Amino acid sequence: MDIISILNLIIPTAIFAATPLIFTALGGLFSERAGVVNIGLEGLMVMGAFSGIVFTLLFESLGFGAASPWVALVMAMLIGAIFSLFHAVASITFRADQIVSGVALNFLAVGLTVFLTREIFGRGQTDYISERIFRENILFLSDIPVVGNWFFSNIYPTSIVSLVFVLVVWYVVFKTPFGLRLRSVGEHPMAADTMGIKVNRMKYIAVMLSGALGGIGGAVYAITTSANFSGGTIAGQGFMALAALIFGKWNPLGVLGAALFFGFAQSLSLSAQQIPALANVPQVYLLIAPYVLTILALAGFVGKAEGPKAIGKAYEKGSR
């Protein structure tokens, strides 16, 4: 097996595995850049996966046809944003510990979605959706030799959308007044307040954006990968997105790189058996690679990862 065919095997799987991570980690980026830790990304993905499947089923039955999953993605985005308000109200207005509130959000998401699944479908999992989003070739670009094979043929449209989102988020965070305000709130809320920025309003917007993107991330995973929803559909992808956010040093382009790398590790762990050089490496090393690398990155062995200065603290007006 030569190197090209190995890459043919791995790269599309890596991009595919990275897509939900990219969406969710970009969401976490908004929230953490505004100084709100979001351990609840996992729960937001669960909520998104549930809404993605339920609304796809609903729109299918209403006769939306192939558009159903796309409309469901929008619904998952809205529901994720609304659901994230739990985290926002608790941690911003009521000054709850952001990490505790995030943990509670994860509990609540799993409890609520499985409860609703049982109430609606009478068992622990939903029906399977029939209108899925499938791999497609991108016009013209897929004809480019080699590279076209890797990046533009047989790719999920959602992956392309996630790449566009990376650029949009990068532009918004670093090139617009909104992004400047967002970052100032996360770095030094008192200074931001003095300059007339409404600190808590910015934090609310940021947390809701993280809910919206986390919702999309979960829905993309459910619609493209599992095609139904149960309590075990989202098992750790949210935490891996959090890892990608930190490994990517709270920068959209870094997040893209980290997510692709984690996706790469995941796809390696799945397809290692077919690659002679890796067939004898125990799968466990590839499974734990993303987590170990994140720890090493935090410890400064792989480039120091430093978060926003005022992260994790509730802002009280007039306090020092």
Partner 1 sequence: MKLIKDTAVKLAIPLIAIFFGFFAGAIIMLASGNNPIAGYAALIDGVIGDAYVFGETLRMMTPLIFSGIAVAFAFRTGLLNIGVEGQLIVGWLASVVVGIVFDLPMVIHLPLAILAGAIAGGIWGFLPGILKARFQVHEVIVTIMLNYVALHVSNHVIRNYMLASGQRTDFISPTASLTSDFLAGLTDFSRMHWGFFLAIAACVIMWFILWKTTKGYELRAAGFNPNASSYAGMNVKTNIVLSMVISGAFAGIGGAMEGLGTYGFIQILSSFTNLGFDGIAVALLGGSTSIGIFLAAFLFGGLKIGAANMQAGANVAPELVEIVIALIIFFVASSYLIRLILNRLQSKKEGK
Distance in angstroms (rounded) separating the CA atoms of residues 51 and 152: 29
Q: In the bound complex, what is the minimum distance in angstroms from residue 46's beta carbon to partner 1? A: 12
Binding track, positions 20-39, relative to partner 1; x by CB under 8 A: -----------------x-x
Q: In the bound complex, what is the minimum distance in angstroms from residue 303's beta carbon to partner 1? A: 13
Q: Which of 94, 194, 279, 319 binds partner 1 (CB under 8 A)?
A: 94
Q: In the bound complex, what is the minimum distance in angstroms from residue 244's beta carbon to partner 1? A: 12
Distance in angstroms (rounded) separating the CA atoms of residues 186 and 129: 40
Q: Which of 164, 176, 195, 232 binds partner 1 (CB under 8 A)?
A: 232
Binding track, positions 70-89, relative to partner 1; x by CB under 8 A: ----------------x--x
Q: Which of 90, 185, 219, 272 binds partner 1 (CB under 8 A)?
A: 90
Collapsing DSSP to helix, strand or coil, 88 comes out as: helix
Distance in angstroms (rounded) separating the CA atoms of residues 62 and 181: 42
Q: In the bound complex, what is the minimum distance in angstroms from residue 217's beta carbon to partner 1? A: 17
Range 269-298, binding partner 1 (CB under 8 A) = 282-284, 287-288, 291-292, 294-295, 298
Distance in angstroms (rounded) separating the CA atoms of residues 282 and 268: 11
Q: In the bound complex, what is the minimum distance in angstroms from residue 116's beta carbon to partner 1? A: 8
Per rule CB under 8 A, is residue 303 in the interface with partner 1?
no
Closest C-alpha among 33, 62, 52, 2 to residue 209: 33
- Residues contacting 5, CB < 8 A, separation 6+: none
Per rule CB under 8 A, is residue 300 in the interface with partner 1?
yes
Nearer to partner 1, 106 or 158 (CB): 106
Q: In the bound complex, what is the minimum distance in angstroms from residue 182's beta carbon to partner 1? A: 21
Nearer to partner 1, 68 or 233 (CB): 233
Q: In the bound complex, what is the minimum distance in angstroms from residue 115's beta carbon to partner 1? A: 4
Range 98-157, binding partner 1 (CB under 8 A) = 99-101, 103-108, 110-112, 114-116, 118-119
Q: How many residues bind partner 1 (CB under 8 A)?
A: 47
Nearer to partner 1, 165 or 239 (CB): 239
Per rule CB under 8 A, is residue 95 in the interface with partner 1?
yes
Per rule CB under 8 A, is residue 265 in the interface with partner 1?
no
Residues that bind partner 1 (CB under 8 A): 37, 39, 86, 89-90, 94-97, 99-101, 103-108, 110-112, 114-116, 118-119, 231-232, 235-236, 239, 242-243, 246, 282-284, 287-288, 291-292, 294-295, 298-300, 307
